[in-house]
């Protein structure tokens, strides 16, 4: 069922990020000069343009900033999953991630719900997903 879903695209910016998810770790890029934390990997810090980039593990928890329940999938491969939840999560460290909320009670999610990361196999790789913290292990 997951075979045709988009797999992570690994490039020079993102290879550390996707190597970590493969080990079921969510990592953030940190500016070694100004300390800014960022989800989307890039060559320079978007705040100070320092090229001194380091990586740090996220604790993997966050809160739901907003979400939508999708009934019309953008690609045929997602059609059988409808309805499913697309959400923006504010991670405990600050950066915001787009993801799905999966597992028990996902369709009952509300803004402010606490969530925790889990990982979904996509081919050889894994993408970070989130489930409701109150629901226990649901995915």
Partner 1 sequence: MTDTTLRNRVAIVGVGESEIGKVPHMTGLGLNAQAAKRALDETGLKPSDIDGLLTAYSMTEPYFMLGSVMCEYLGLKPTFNASMVVGGASPAVMLKHAAEAIVSGQAEVILCCAGENRATGQTRDQAVAALAAVGHPYYEQPYGASIPSFYAMITRRHMHEYGTTREQLAQMAVTTRDHAVRHPNAHMTKPITVEEVVNSKPIAEPLNILDCCLISDAGGAYIVTTAERAKDLKSDPVYLHGIGEYHTHEHLMCADSLTEFGALEAGRRAYTMAGLGPEDMNFAELYDCFSVVPMIEMEELGLCERGGAGAMVEAGDTRIDGRLPVNTHGGMLSHAHAGAAGGLFGIIEAVRQLRGQEGERQVANHDVALVHNEGGILSSHCTMILGREER
Query: In the complex, what is the shortest distance from the CB of residue 127 to partner 1, in angstroms, rounded to a whole number?
Result: 5
CB of 32 to partner 1, least distance (A): 21
Site size toward partner 1, by CB under 8 A? 37
Q: List binders of partner 1 among 6-45 (CB under 8 A).
A: 6-9, 11, 14, 39-40
CB of 45 to partner 1, least distance (A): 14
Strand segments, DSSP code E, in the chain are 27-31, 37-38, 53-57, 61-70, 84-91, 96-102, 114-122, 125-132
Question: What gap in Å lies between CA 133 and CA 42, rounded to an integer?
Answer: 30
Tokens read off for 57 = 């593990």
Q: Could you tell me if 110 and 87 are in contact, meaning their C-beta atoms sit under 8 angstroms apart?
A: no
Which region, judged by CB under 8 A, interacts with partner 1, from 23-31, 52-60, 75-83, 131-139?
Answer: 75-83
Least distance to partner 1, CB of residue 59, Å: 19
- Residues numbered 44 to 73 that lie near partner 1 (CB under 8 A) are 65-73
Q: Count of CB atoms within 10 A of residue 103's CB?
A: 18
Report the residue from 33, 81, 93, 104 that binds partner 1 according to the rule CB under 8 A.
Answer: 81
Nearer to partner 1, 87 or 132 (CB): 87
Is 61 in contact with 115 (CB distance < 8 Å)? yes
SS3 content of the chain, % helix, strand, coil (to 5): 15, 40, 45
| Residues of this chain that bind partner 1 (CB under 8 A) | 5-9, 11, 14, 39-40, 65-78, 81, 83-84, 86-88, 96-100, 111, 122, 127
């Amino acid at each position: 069922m997951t075979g045709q879903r988009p797999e992570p695209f690994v490039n020079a910016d993102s290879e550390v990020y996707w190597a970590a998810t493969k080990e079921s770790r969510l990592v953030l890029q940190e500016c070694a000069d100004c300390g800014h934390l960022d989800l989307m990997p890039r060559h320079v810090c978007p705040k100070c343009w320092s090229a001194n980039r380091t990586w740090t593990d996220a604790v993997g928890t966050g809160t739901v900033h907003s979400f939508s329940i999708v009934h019309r999938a953008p690609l045929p491969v997602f059609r059988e999953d409808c309805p499913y939840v697309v959400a923006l999560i504010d991670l405990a460290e600050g950066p915001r991630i787009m993801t799905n909320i999966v597992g028990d009670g996902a369709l009952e999610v509300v803004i402010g719900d606490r969530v925790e990361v889990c990982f979904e196999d996509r081919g050889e790789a894994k993408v970070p997903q989130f489930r409701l913290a109150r629901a226990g292990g649901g995915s």
